[in-house]
Each structure stands twice: as structure tokens, then as C-alpha cells.
Structure 1
Amino acid sequence: MIITEAVVFFTAVAQVYGATIKKSSGLVAQFSPSFPSLPEPTNVVTTYQAGPYATPKKLSRATLKGFPEPWEAPDTSSAEVQAVYKKLDFTKIPKAPVRKQNPDGTWVSTSDGESDPFCWWSSTNCVKPKASYLPPDIYTCPKKGDWGLTYDDGPYNLGKDDKVANKYAEPYLLNYLAENNLHATLFYIGSNVATFPDAARLGLKNGHQLCVHTWSHRVLTTLTDVEIVAELYWTLKAIKAATGVTSKCFRPPQGDVDDRVRAIAYQMGMRTVLWDEDTQDWNLLYNKEGSLSRKEANGYFETWIKNYKTGKDKSGHIVLEHELNPETVELSISWLPKLKQTFNVVPALSCNGITHPYWEESFEYPLFDSSDNGNSTAKNKTSATSSAAPSPTSSSAISSSTSTKQSKSITTASRTKSVASSTSSIEKIA
């Protein structure tokens, strides 16, 4: 969706950390939250690293101090959260309802009606906000053959209460990606970053893009405005404290987003990133939870590869995967060699022309291409504000249907418990 040259211009002039995009750009004003008395992180990189990458056998288990209790709803009355909350322009936050779920995770009200006034993804898979001052969601790769590699819920932390020997906790996945010169967009849980900051640092050092996935994985449209702020703010701060970067990208848990959530996140400096293909790995059977067999999961990958090779699929895709447990990590690693032979496996932001995913302008990522091992910057860059995202009319674009998301939300409580135990350029996100 091409927004206008004016948007690109005003995005380009927001070069100073913490700068606000001018309202005259046509978008709601955007700002980067500040983080009072936050020490500068150590042992971090300050620019994109093209390699060679580290593959450590172990990572430090030191945790960050001064953060909310991991996996608990963060306090909304804290001075830091209130400072960000009061900075919001509430005239630019649509009055969508605070939604409700039944105990099994299904929605009390499954739709706002056919008109879908608030572009509620969980109801209609809407990715183009009804609020004209918000940019469209990033949810697919515009170029045929691009496989937008993403992982949610990391950094995967080996919890002290794990009952199963678990070699798949980080740095396992990060090491595999480094050894195979693959890069991904990583949507980090703030609680996991705070309890495993060294893994987040390794993710940044090894050339991955770090984005926000909330503090405690709560369903955002069920929260009040200030609760949404708290979930996003503490995750932003945890990533900043661990790595020194301030993300301009976020993915809502379960994809659950509407224009109220989008407006809050966007004002806090982040653009919404979704997906158009779902591996369903979140539902893999593990520790007696989940109902998806490995055979069924393999079937998804087999179909995607077959459809592309036979010409049935002429699109690119952003694919939902997780570093949630050993099953999800092992599934992904088992298929990456075949995917790399078939597709151009690149980070989701890169396939959308985004080279500046942080407010810190020193980080400029290449537009990865597996044909050149992902180390060169593409000659023809595309502005992040004009990343093409066609309407989700194809079957692949709506593969994660409303009924699928309701099924996913049913497992939210058990899934959260499982995860919680694992303790100066215009190419940027506008």
C-alpha cells in the first residue's frame, strides 16, 4: 500500500532518537518511549552485523533487574507506564470495545458485523485499518518466492522447572540459523528477554531483527488502553535494556488486533506485523498439550513446497512459527534446508523493503537474498512506508481463519503456562 511521498519525507526527517513524526504527514503522531535511568547495555553491537556469527555452547543466565514479575500482568499505575499513557493522543485511538473471551478462549462476541468498523483481525482477517491515519499491517511478502521467516515467543528459555531435558532452548535455534546463514524476524516476549537477556543480545549480534510480542502474551483487544501500554512498554524497555535497540515493529499475540490496539502501538513507535501462512506449530503435541501431530505439521510444509514448484502458488508469504518448545524448534529446523532450496528465505521485514527496524538509525539491514547468502544490500530498496501488501483475498492470505484463531485461543492458558515456565534513510518502519 503506497501511502504518499509526504509520509516518506516526514519519516525520513525523524532521524533523531525519540523524534516524533509530524502530524502533517497524514499519520497519527509517532514517538519512541523514553526509559528513565536505564543503564547502557554492555557486550552489544551498535550496527547490523553481516557475520561471521557467534555459535556459543552456553549463554549467561543473568537476568535484568527492575522489571515486572515475569509472565504477570504488569502494573498499570507505575510512573513509567503512566508517562507513556499520558503522551498518547486519544483523539486518534478508535473507541473499539474492550473485547471478552469465554473461559475456553472463544470470543463472547465473534464479530462487529459485516462492516467491521475497527478492522478486527480476529473476526475478519482485516489488515487495512479503517482509521485512515494508520498504516496498513505488514502481513505478506510481495515478491513471488519470498518466504518471510519469523519466530514468536522467544528467546526460548530453559526454565528451572522444566521436567524434560531440553537442548532446544537458546542458543540452539540461533546457532543453527548462524551456521546456515539464515536470518529471521524475531518477535520477543518481554518476560523472556528480561529473564534471558543474553539470548536477545545474541539474536541481535547474529543479524536478526528484534520486534515486540508483549510482556506476558495476553490477548490485546481484551485489555484496556493502559493495560496495552504496559504490555508493550515493558517489552520495549526489556529489549532496549538487553540490546540497546528500540523496536519499531510488533506482533500481537494470536494476531489479535484492531484499530484501537494498532493506534496505541503505532503511537508508541511500532507498526503491526502479522502473517498469511500458519504452520500451526503452536498446536504441536508436547508434554501432553496440543493436538497437532508431527505428520500433520509436515503436511503443511509439503503442500507449500508442492504448490510453489507446480506454479499453483505465485506469491510470497510471511509464515508464523514459534520458538515455543522443543517440538516447534525441531520442526522448523527439519524443514529449513528444503525451504531454502525452494524459496528465498528472508526475514519478514526485509521482504517488505524495511532496512531500519529500530529507532536507532545506526542499524541498517540488507534486503537479504538467499542466493547471495544474505550479506549484500539490495540495489533497489523500497520504502517501508510503501511496502506492498495486497488485500487478503486469496485462500493463502486467509489461511489463518477466524475459526482457526478461535481454536488457537482455546489453548492460550495452557500454552502461556508452558511458555512461562521457560524462564538516516527512508527505508524504515513509518
Structure 2
Amino acid sequence: MYTTLARPLLPLALPLLLVPQPSPRLLPARAPLLRVLLPLPSLLVLIASGMSSAPTVAASTTFASGTTPTFLPNAPPLPNALSLNPANYPPLDKTPPVDSPEVQQWIKEVNATGIQIPDFAPTVAGGCPTNPDAVNDQSRCWWTCGGCAAPDDIEQCPDKMTWGLTYDDGPALYTGDLLAYLDQANLKATFFVVGSRAISYPALLQEEYMAQHQIAVHTWSHPPMTTLTNEQIIAELGWTKKVIKDVLGVTPTFWRPPYGDVDNRVRAIAKAMGLQTSIWTRISPEATFDTGDFDIAGGQTTSTQVLNNWENIIGNATTIDHGFIVLEHDLFQQTVDIAMDYILPDALAHQPPFKIEPIISCLNKPLQDAYIETNDNSSNPIGMSSAAPTGVSSASDGAHTTSPQTGASATGSASSAEASGNSSGASANGKNSAMGIAAPSSMGAIALALVSGVVALFL
């Protein structure tokens, strides 16, 4: 049986056998030998809404207060993360109040930068269909509706076949699994951290940082940012910056808007707070490199559809003349499992090979540029607040008298593309994703299925 069936499959299977495989720590206790005994298509159906929960993995290493991150020049020592008192922070998963002394101080600092904040009213819930005036206002440059990007938005890596690996919404219960896999595969990523999760899992956040992954801001409570007032935007970003610094000793210089919901008003406030807007790759007004993985847990999509999205993403990634950034998440077991069991092994086996690295590295900048305390401002000026002697606008009460520009050109066009309405960043109707884009399909999914059959034949 081996000679008639297995041998013809070996040319396809061997590349994947050479890919770093999950360690025993990563094998779910719910199904011993599951990855060996079941064909991978059968395993895939287990990554679904309502799947049985595997045991969670806590931080594998805890760091003593005062530990110095030797990999990062001039980095301050680690704070005592376990001494954080949640009572000193806003309620979890809610936009923080704006009348606290901290937020009032951040508002003053934003005003003092002199960065002009456009006088746009917040959008209303419902996205593009419920905000036709905002959609048609090209000076707003609303990324969600039509894909308008400012010149300094980070949507891609400059070098072809380079993947800026990112994960959003953590740290969370299964982030430890993902960290172990990334360590075994010698991969580094950018983690866009939700402030409410940082205060909940400080040891995991320290493990991410000390493993030399890039840590970046993803707001305190994950709201659509264009729906907030100026003061609320400042509160969302300010508290997230603060809790990350309280855990790590450093403050990120990069941030990602939840759902990709950003316009020139939000960009200007983020810039005034020393944050570089970073999104993910878009190849048309309605198609972005979004795996859709977030929606598996809620039953809005299937793991099979996510892999179809991934196949389209890598098909397009090999044809564009620059690198790319993909939207993925480390919030749920489903998102972590599909990353470890399918997406990352497939990417590692791809020929020609991808160069997989954090956003800061794919931009050809040193890791120290990712944090205000270690950034020398030579290659990443966004990490320092830029002051201007005149034209100071107010970040309070919407009382702006400045022109609707951020200092970056508000280029691009808006369209009536439907809004991002779910938590993955994809549009509610699935158009704002890589689905439906003609692209050469890789052999990754086929080889993944074949390799399990080869292994089973040896048992």
C-alpha cells in the first residue's frame, strides 16, 4: 500500500514535513494525535464556532521587575507588571471617560503639537450606507469607504514577497500557543494590543515584547474610531499607550484602527499623539488582505472560507510589485489554530519563499524605532510629537477652525462601498476582503491534505 499510494505523494508532502511543526505544548489535549490520525480537511471542520476549548497556555516565562531588554538599545528595564491595579484604569471594553485628569492632560498635549485636526463631525453607526455625506467628502479620506489612504499610512511592505505579519486584539487566552509556534518557527510579528487585554494579561504582553515581537496600539476598547469625538479618540489611544508603557516600560509608535476605520481627523489626532497609522494591504477599493478569521468564532464564516481567502491573498501577493500586510487575530482559539495549523505552515512552505517579519522590520527600520523611548527620531519621526508655533487647533468640543487636512495630502477617492460592519475589519457583506479576486491558487492546501495521508500510511 505504501509503494502504490504513499510514494507518489512524497514530492508534495516532503516540503511540509520540513516545516517546523507544533511542539507537544501546542497539541490540544482535547484530541491526542488528532493532527496525525485525521486527514487535515477533517481537522479543519473542528475549527468552527462552538468548538471545544483546549487548555489555555499562560506565559511560558515570567520576568522579574527590572529585567533589561538587552535586544533593544537604550530600553528601560521592565516594570513590575504584576503590581498593576485595574482600579487605576478605565473600565474594560468601554470607551474611557474624557473628564479624567489623564485625558485632560493628553488633550492639552495634542493641542500643543500644532497639528491641524480637521473639523469633521463623527460618523454615525452603520458605516458607509448611513454616512453618505462623509463617503462623498474626499477631503475626509475615509479608508473604510472607498479605500482612501493618506501618503504616510502603512498598508504594505516595500519589498516584494515580504509579509508584514500582524495579529490584532490580544493578548488573550490562546496567545501563548501562538507565541510558542512563532518561537519554534523563528518568526517575529507585530501585535496590535487592545488596552483592555493588556491590563488583563500583562505577563503575556511582556512575553511578546521580550521575544522581540513588535508591540503596537489597537485602542482601549476596539471601537470604530471615526464614530468617536476628538476627546474620546484621545482617551482610547492615550490609555492604551499608558497601560503598555506601565507593563513594558516603552510606548509604541505604531497603531492600527479597529476595522481599519480611519479618516483624516483620526489620523491627525493619532499623529499628534506620536502614532503611525498602520492598516493592511488593499488591492482595490473593495478588496483587502483580510483573512476573515475573526468571524469563525461567531459563526459568520467558516474555516474553509478563511483558507479560501488566504489562497486568494497569497495568489495576489505573488503578483504585486511590493510586499504585503495581512489582517489576522490572536483573540480566539479558532484564529490561533487556523494560523498555526494552516496559514503559517503554508506560508513557510511557499516557493519562492516569503520573508516574514514584523511591520517595523518590513519597512527596513530597526526595532528600536517601534517605541518612543528607544526611537532616536532619525528614521521614524512619527514617534516624536511635532510642535508647531502657530495654527494650534483645539481637540476639545469639536471647536476646530482649521482646514480639513492633516498635513498629509488627502488624496484618493471615496465610493459607496459598504462599511466594515464586523469585528474582523472585513465589510459586513464580505466585499472588503480578498475574496472574489482572481488569483492563482497555491498548492498549499492540497499539499496540507496530502501530507496527513502520507503520515497515516506509516502508522
2:69 counterpart residue number: 46
SS in 2 for 1:88: helix
Match for residue 282 of structure 1? Answer: 294
Letter in 2 for 1:46: P
TM-aligned CA distance change 1:252 to 1:113, over 3 Å? closer
Across the aligned residues of Structure 1 and Structure 2, the Cα RMSD in angstroms comes to 3.2
Q: Deviations over 1:218-274 (max 9, x none)?
A: 111111111111111110011000011111111011110111111111111101000
Shift of 1:332: 1.1
Deviations 1:378-421 (CA, angstroms, capped at 9, x unpaired)? xxxx94469xxxx999xxxx9xx9436245589999xxxxxxxx
Give 1:42 deviation, angstroms. Answer: 1.9
Is 1:97 matched up with 2:109?
no
Q: Which of 310, 330, 340 is the aligned partner of 1:333?
A: 340
CA distance in 1, matches of 2:207, 2:129: 38
Where do 1:319-330 residues align within 5 Å? 319-330=326-337
Instruction: Choose which of 345, 348, 366 in structure 1 pairs with 2:356.
Output: 345
Q: Give the secondary structure class of the aligned counterpart of 1:171.
A: helix
Bigger Rg, which one: 2
CA distance in 1, matches of 2:199, 2:135: 40
Instruction: Determine the C-alpha separation between the residues in 1 that align with 2:85 and 2:250.
Output: 15
Q: CA 1:83/1:63 → structure 2, altered by over 3 Å: closer, same or farther?
A: closer
Letter in 2 for 1:338: D
- Whole-Å separation in 1 of the counterparts to 2:200 and 2:135: 42
**Which amino acid in 1 is paired with 2:267?**
R
The one of 228, 232, 236 equivalent to 2:233 is 228
Letter in 1 for 2:65: T
Structure 1: 5+ residue stretches without partners? 1-40, 51-59, 130-135, 159-168, 365-381, 414-430
Distance change in 2, residues 1:300/1:346 (3 Å): same
Residues 209-220 of structure 1: matches in 2 within 5 Å? 209-220=214-225
Residues 150, 411 of structure 2: 8 Å contact kept: no
Q: Counterpart in 2 of 1:150?
A: 166
Q: 1:299 to 1:411 in 2, by over 3 A?
A: closer
CA 1:91 to 1:141, structure 2 compared with 1: closer, same or farther past 3 Å?
A: closer
Per-residue CA deviation, residues 88-124 of structure 1 (Å, 9 max, x unaligned), is: 237611111111014xx66521453545112111112
1:123 aligns with 2:145: yes
Counterpart CA distance in 1 for 2:326 and 2:154 is 12
SS of 1:345's partner is: strand
Residues 1:405 and 2:412 aligned together? no
Distance apart, 1:44 and its partner CA: 4.5
TM-fit CA distance, 1:67: 1.0
TM-score normalised to structure 1 length: 0.66
Cα deviation for residue 198 of structure 1 reads 0.7
Aligned residue among 297, 303, 311 for 2:312: 303
Report Cα offsets for 1:200-228 as digits up to 9, x if no partner.
10010001011000000111111111111
Q: Which moved more, 1:269-278 or 1:335-344?
A: 335-344
The answer as to whether partners of 1:63 and 1:196 remain within 8 angstroms in 2 is: no
Once the two structures are superposed, residues 35-85 of structure 1 have per-residue CA deviations (whole angstroms, 9 ceiling, x without a partner) of xxxxxx9254434369xxxxxxxxx98754411111122121000110110
Residues matched between the structures, number: 313
Residue number in structure 2 paired with 1:264? 269
Question: Using the alignment, how far apart are the partners of 1:42 and 1:240 within structure 2?
Answer: 14
Instruction: Return closer, same or farther for 1:402/1:290 CA change in 2, 3 Å cut-off.
Output: farther
Aligned identity (percent) is: 36
Q: Distance in 2 between matches of 1:237 and 1:190?
A: 9
4+ aligned runs moved over 6 Å, structure 1? 409-413
Aligned counterpart, 1:428: none
Aligned ranges 1:306-317 → 2 under 5 Å:
306-307=315-316, 312-317=319-324
SS where residue 145 of structure 2 aligns? helix
Distance 2:101 2:381 in 1: 33
- Cα 1:72/1:116, change in 2 over 3 Å: same
| Residues 1:63 and 1:290: Cα distance change in structure 2 (over 3 Å) | farther
Partner of 2:250: 245
